[in-house]
Amino acid sequence: MGNYFFDSATVFEELDRVDGKAKVTGQAKYSAEYEMPGLAYGVIVGANISKGTIAAIDINAAEKAPGVLGVVTHLNITKPAGYIAADATKPAAVRGLKVFDDNVIHFNGQPIALVMADSFERATHAASLIKAQYNKETFSTGLEQAMKDEKPLEGNQYKESIRGEKDAWKNAAVKVEGTYTMPNQVHNPMEMHATTVKWEGDDKVTVWEKTQGVKSTQRDIMQAFALTEKNVQVNTLYVGGGFGAALRTWPHAMAALIGAKKIGKPLKVVLTRMQMFTLVGYRPEAIQKIAIGADNDGKLIGMMHEANAVTSNYENFTENIVKMTRALYSCANVTTKYNVYPVELSTPTWMRGPGEATGSFPLECALDELSYQLKMDPIELRLKNYAETDPENGKPYSSKFLKEAYQLGADKFGWKDRHPIPNTMMENGWKVGVGMSTGIFGAFRNEAKLGLKLMADGTLIMQTAVSDSGPGTATAMTKIAADAMGLPYNKIKFELGDSSLPPGPTQGGSSSTSTVGAAVSTGCVTLQKKLAEAAKSSPVFGHIVAVENFLFQNGEMVLKTDPTKKLSYSEVLKNAGMTSIEFIENSGRNPAMEKYSAYSYAVHFVKVLVHPLTGVVKIAKAVVAGDAGKIVSPKTAKSQMIGGVVGGIGGALMEESVIDERYGRWINNNFADYHVPVHADVPAIEAVFVDKPDPILNPVGSKGMGEIALIGFAAAVANAVYHATGKRIRELPITPDKLI
């Protein structure tokens, strides 16, 4: 046994979310909740054709409707500077869809007008009075059709990647192959996208925006309207969920900026839930072929993975769908191909576990299928092909504790009780099955600047322009600083969501804790040095001023050699005649990382019940074991992993956004018909961590978590369903109709 849990110098202590009280009392304000005099309400009107041009648009009735303050269309728009490229050889500053730029319709639901009125009801009603005539063109919205009719996009990112011998899998002793489909999935954060805009004159604006990137939103607005950094203020104190949908500055936000400028009043634009399906991205549908060959001992001989997915007809969206197949297992011969077809839908965007969540479904199902053919335990098969170095480039890993995660998860789940033969276990009239899968996602660290202020009363204030869409960034940063500085939590304040703060990263790709945490960690080291320097003025320590000689605990500097000699931080400042210590810490990538590959890992274990007559699938139990490096804030980390599993339940069992390809319109674009899990779908879920630091990626030792929490989960469910029923479902979601 040993002393494992007591090794750490820091005593384990649960830290509640630092914004918890604001969130449970309704005081936390989201982007549509700022009160200001004269606030107007904007409603976006969407096109109801999928491709063509607007022949005529009648805004007369809308303009005359009660309370209407103005209407913006492509005919009356004052175009922002960033719509037009200064240099014809370069693209315009505003990328993607330039809202109201012209009369061209790229997808059904594309904004054709913004109606602004003095109340939400009046704006909504007036919006319905907008009438448009179109020149309609033929279109396609479905991947299957596009694959038949069109050619995929060409370019380096779509080229076939071949490692070793191309068709090696075909000659293997044991092989599996299959085609897997996955529908469009929609992020659907609970807060609908909202933008509140207040112009002061023509060249200064404040925006309250739902965004995962405060600085990226600020940059987009600066570029669109040719404004200076100090004249664009972006506020994002609270974000009601993002999952990727708030990574971009979307057309509705640009519409709000244009509209508010037109009417000369503060304006807020909130999308409807229906618009959340068309205007803020989605995970694109995919049809994937996979083939794996192994020898009789389970050693992988070759793999082939071809993914087909959609993008819009005006932007090339790509994600790492096939990367996991190249990177997860040790296999000499791997061929991957990624085909992307433009269709008449809006541009997809990264959704939790982007790429890997899609690619892991065929990969981890195929591994499972192979394990049954080999009559080998699925974990054993994975360990047999465990990659000790990165198969893509031979680099060592900065850290990899996937083996430990398999063990930890298997023990917690009780995997050893699994019956090796499928379709054999029953409980109370339900078929029982268990399944597992692996998920990986690159571990990243980006640049951040962090403002630190140690105040006269010993309070530490940290500031950076990030936003937090839910994982609890401020909470984790508070924990890191508290541990480093020996300060109680209530003496630490982490400020975010304000573009005037030192620039921080966008919250995406599971990198916030790694990136910002690194800045907090090194910032605290710098602060300790500055404190030691300031302590020169304090006679109690005599001539000893080198930082190495001190402990920083309980808000005090303590001399290591004589712990009776100590001084509180506020006394250090006072003795030095300082009112505060303030500085900006710059943090970036560790150059040593060039030599390493870095990934986070999750292993999902699921027990399902399948009703033999009705095909209903229940998740009876789920365990996720993660290697996400050092766990900074255990409580919020656990919640984030559990949350990813819940998202995974949605993707596995129910999420499917349906488009009628004749009309190019969404059929189930609301929460009653696009099902996401409810309480009754979700059992108790256990999240466990290896909790070993990555020694190289960043000084905190943490790796990302948000993505791996979900990646692979759908495969684990499909594998469990196979174990329960003997039916291999290769089409998501696994609804009752597929099992009867």
Partner 1 sequence: MCQQPTNDAEKQPSLHHARRNFLKQTSALTALALAPSVVMKAAEKKLDEKAAGFFEQKTLNIEVNGKAHQLSVEPRATLLDVLRENLHLTGSKKGCDLGQCGACTVHVDGKRVLSCLSLAVMQNGKKITTIEGLQQGDQLHPMQEAFIKHDGFQCGYCTPGQIMSAVACISEGHAGTDNEIREYMSGNICRCGAYPNIVDAISEVAKKGGSRD
Partner 2 sequence: MLLVKWLKKEAPVINFDYVKPTTEQNALTACKDPLAQFIAGGTNLVDLMKRGVTNPEKLVDITGLPMSNIEQKGDNIFIGSLALNSVVAEHELIKKHLPLLSQALQAGASPQIRNMATVGGNMMQRTRCGYFYDLSMPCNKRTPNSGCGAKEGYNRMHAIFGASDKCIAVHPSDMCVALAALDATVLIANGKLLRRVPFKDFHKLPGSNPEKDNNLLKGELITGVEVPINAAFAQHSLYTKIRDRASYAFALVSVAAALEMNGKTIKDIRLAMGGVAHKPWRLTTAEQFLKSKEATPANFKQAAMLALKDATSYGHNQFKLTLAPNTIVHTLHTLAGI
Per rule CB under 8 A, count of chain residues that contact partner 2: 43
Tell me what percent of the chain is helix, strand and coil, each rounded to the nearest 5. 30, 25, 45
- Considering only residues 40, 132, 224, 363, which one is a binding residue for partner 2 as defined by CB under 8 A? 132
From 285, 319, 369, 707, the catalytic residue? 707
Please state, in angstroms and rounded to a whole number, the distance separating the CA atoms of residues 178 and 100.
Answer: 44
CA 403, chain centre distance (Å) = 25
**707: annotated active-site residue:** yes
Interface with partner 2 by CB under 8 A: which range of 124-132, 178-186, 251-259, 700-708?
A: 124-132
Kind of pairing between the strands at 174-182 and 104-105: unpaired
Please state, in angstroms and rounded to a whole number, the distance separating the CA atoms of residues 162 and 158.
Answer: 12
660 belongs to the binding site for partner 2 (CB under 8 A): yes
Q: Which is nearer to partner 2, 569 or 713 (CB)?
A: 713
60 belongs to the binding site for partner 2 (CB under 8 A): no
- 11 DSSP assignment: P
Q: Cβ neighbours of residue 121 under 8 Å, at least 6 residues apart? A: none
- Considering only residues 589, 611, 727, 728, which one is a binding residue for partner 2 as defined by CB under 8 A? 611
Please choose which of partner 1, partner 2, none residue 685 contacts, taking the beta carbon within 5 to 8 angstroms, the exact cut-off set by kind: partner 1
Minimum distance of partner 1 from residue 682's CB (angstroms): 4
Rg of the chain on CA atoms, in Å? 27
∠ at Cα 717 (713, 723), nearest 5°? 140
Please choose which of partner 2, partner 1, none residue 696 contacts, taking the beta carbon within 5 to 8 angstroms, the exact cut-off set by kind: none
Q: Which is nearer to partner 2, 127 or 267 (CB)?
A: 127
Q: Which is nearer to partner 2, 138 or 564 (CB)?
A: 138
- 635 DSSP assignment: H
Residues 224-243 that bind partner 2 (CB under 8 A): none
- 228 DSSP assignment: -
For residue 377, what are its two tokens? Answer: 């335990």
- Considering only residues 152, 555, 588, 615, which one is a binding residue for partner 2 as defined by CB under 8 A? 615
Minimum distance of partner 1 from residue 187's CB (angstroms): 8
Please count the other Cβ atoms lying within 10 Å of the Cβ belonging to residue 65: 18
Please state, in angstroms and rounded to a whole number, the distance separating the CA atoms of residues 607 and 624.
Answer: 12
- Considering only residues 24, 55, 173, 226, which one is a binding residue for partner 2 as defined by CB under 8 A? 55
Residues 137-166 that bind partner 2 (CB under 8 A): 137
- Considering only residues 455, 540, 551, 616, which one is a binding residue for partner 2 as defined by CB under 8 A? 616
Please state, in angstroms and rounded to a whole number, the distance separating the CA atoms of residues 67 and 175.
Answer: 68
Q: Which residues pair with 162 in a beta bridge?
A: 335
Please choose which of partner 1, partner 2, none residue 613 contacts, taking the beta carbon within 5 to 8 angstroms, the exact cut-off set by kind: partner 2
Q: What are phi and psi of 689, to 5 degrees?
A: -125, 145
Q: Which is nearer to partner 1, 540 or 682 (CB)?
A: 682
User: E-strand spans in 317-429?
Assistant: 333-343, 425-427
Residues 59-118 that bind partner 1 (CB under 8 A): 64-67
- Considering only residues 654, 696, 697, 709, which one is a binding residue for partner 2 as defined by CB under 8 A? 654
- DSSP three-state, residue 730: coil
Q: Evaluate whether 152 touches 321 at the Cβ level (below 8 Å).
A: no
Interface with partner 2 by CB under 8 A: which range of 74-82, 377-385, 592-600, 679-687?
A: 679-687
Kind of pairing between the strands at 68-72 and 111-117: antiparallel
Please state, in angstroms and rounded to a whole number, the distance separating the CA atoms of residues 113 and 80.
Answer: 16
Q: Evaluate whether 441 touches 352 at the Cβ level (below 8 Å).
A: no
Please choose which of partner 1, partner 2, none residue 737 contacts, taking the beta carbon within 5 to 8 angstroms, the exact cut-off set by kind: partner 2
239 belongs to the binding site for partner 1 (CB under 8 A): yes
For residue 693, what are its two tokens? Answer: 């630091």
713 belongs to the binding site for partner 1 (CB under 8 A): no
Interface with partner 2 by CB under 8 A: which range of 3-11, 49-57, 150-158, 690-698?
A: 49-57
Q: Which residues pair with 465 in a beta bridge?
A: 503
Please state, in angstroms and rounded to a whole number, the distance separating the CA atoms of residues 202 and 223.
Answer: 15
- Considering only residues 131, 529, 560, 595, which one is a binding residue for partner 2 as defined by CB under 8 A? 131
Please state, in angstroms and rounded to a whole number, the distance separating the CA atoms of residues 382 and 405.
Answer: 12
677 belongs to the binding site for partner 2 (CB under 8 A): yes
Please count the other Cβ atoms lying within 10 Å of the Cβ belonging to residue 48: 15
729 belongs to the binding site for partner 2 (CB under 8 A): no
- Considering only residues 53, 75, 120, 404, which one is a binding residue for partner 1 as defined by CB under 8 A? 120
Q: Which is nearer to partner 2, 27 or 128 (CB)?
A: 128
Minimum distance of partner 1 from residue 687's CB (angstroms): 9
Q: Which of these, 364, 651, 730, 712, lies nearest to 738 by C-alpha position?
A: 730
- Considering only residues 3, 25, 138, 228, which one is a binding residue for partner 1 as defined by CB under 8 A? 25
Interface with partner 2 (CB under 8 A): 48-49, 52, 55, 121, 124-125, 128-129, 131-137, 611, 613-616, 618, 653-654, 658, 660, 662-663, 665, 667-668, 672-673, 675, 677-681, 735-737, 740
Interface with partner 1 (CB under 8 A): 16-17, 19-30, 32-33, 35, 64-67, 119-122, 125, 188-192, 238-243, 270, 272-273, 469-472, 635-636, 638-640, 642-647, 670-672, 676-680, 682-685
